[in-house]
Amino acid sequence: MTMVVGLTGGIGSGKTTVADLFAQFNIDIIDADIVAREVVEPGTPGLNAIIDKLGSDILLTDGSLNRSKLRQAIFNDNSLKDWLNALLHPMIREKMQADIQKAKSPYCLLVIPLMVENNLQTMTDRLLVIDVDEEVQIARTQQRDKVNAEHVKKILAAQASREERLAAADDVITNNGDSAALQSEVATLHQQYVAMSLHNQ
């Protein structure tokens, strides 16, 4: 089976940027955020279960899930959040596993923002962590999302710490530099992963 490299890091650490760089080498990317949307597309068992629970008021007029309404409902009700996680997490894991089976590149990249928090590194053969200084992380997230520093700090506090992530890492990209530095780190890792995947065949 294709070797699975997990990619994780905190908000604004550069996961999307790094995944795009690996994609330039034609590496198949499986992104948990995208899969999480796929399992609640119209007609899926996931969305049907949500409609059964919350009624069709939870839909937009085009029949798709009203995400901001669901976020609001969860915000006000912890047991609903638990119910939703119990419903969707296994579906997301199953879909990611199916996508891994379909991967054609020498290795594939499994991008999961909350990998360490949810102990999903068990789905990977190797874990690549993007580490970044907190001040850089806050500045980049602020610029990208047009939010203030306090908002970003709250999100950081709810995520795993840098130390927790680094303790789980096999490989680390330090993303404090410019995009040229990042590009060269990814190119080096890509070579290593191709060599490892050949070795493991």
State which of residues 14, 46, 91, 96 lies at the interface with ligand ADP (CB under 6 A).
14
Note whether 80 and 74 are within 8 A (CB). yes
Token pair belonging to 150: 């306090």
| Least distance in angstroms from the C-beta of 144 to ligand ADP | 4
Note whether 105 and 26 are within 8 A (CB). yes
State which of residues 175, 189, 190, 193 lies at the interface with ligand ADP (CB under 6 A).
175
Size of the site for ligand ADP (CB under 6 A): 15
Note whether 152 and 26 are within 8 A (CB). no
Q: Which is nearer to ligand ADP, 11 or 70 (CB)?
A: 11
| Least distance in angstroms from the C-beta of 59 to ligand ADP | 28
State which of residues 4, 15, 100, 193 lies at the interface with ligand ADP (CB under 6 A).
15
Site for ligand ADP in 181-200 (CB under 6 A): 182
Q: Residue holding tokens 């999307």?
A: 16
Of the listed pieces 53-61, 89-97, 153-161, 171-179, which binds ligand ADP according to CB under 6 A? 171-179
Q: Which is nearer to ligand ADP, 144 or 154 (CB)?
A: 144
Q: Helices marked H in 41-115 — which ranges? A: 45-54, 67-75, 78-102
Look up residue 179 and give its amino acid.
S
| Least distance in angstroms from the C-beta of 201 to ligand ADP | 31
Q: Which is nearer to ligand ADP, 73 or 136 (CB)?
A: 136
Residues in the chain: 201
Site for ligand ADP in 106-165 (CB under 6 A): 140, 144
Q: Does 13 bind ligand ADP (CB under 6 A)?
A: yes
**CA-angle at 186, arms to 134 and 180, nearest 5°:** 70
Q: Which is nearer to ligand ADP, 133 or 170 (CB)?
A: 133
| Least distance in angstroms from the C-beta of 45 to ligand ADP | 29
Detail the DSSP E strand segments found in the chain: 3-9, 28-31, 107-111, 126-131, 171-174
What whole-number distance in Å separates Cα of residue 201 and Cα of residue 185?
Answer: 25
For residue 108, which of 169, 19, 200 has the smallest C-alpha distance? 19
In the complex, the residues that contact ligand ADP under the rule CB under 6 A are 9, 11-17, 140, 144, 175, 177-179, 182
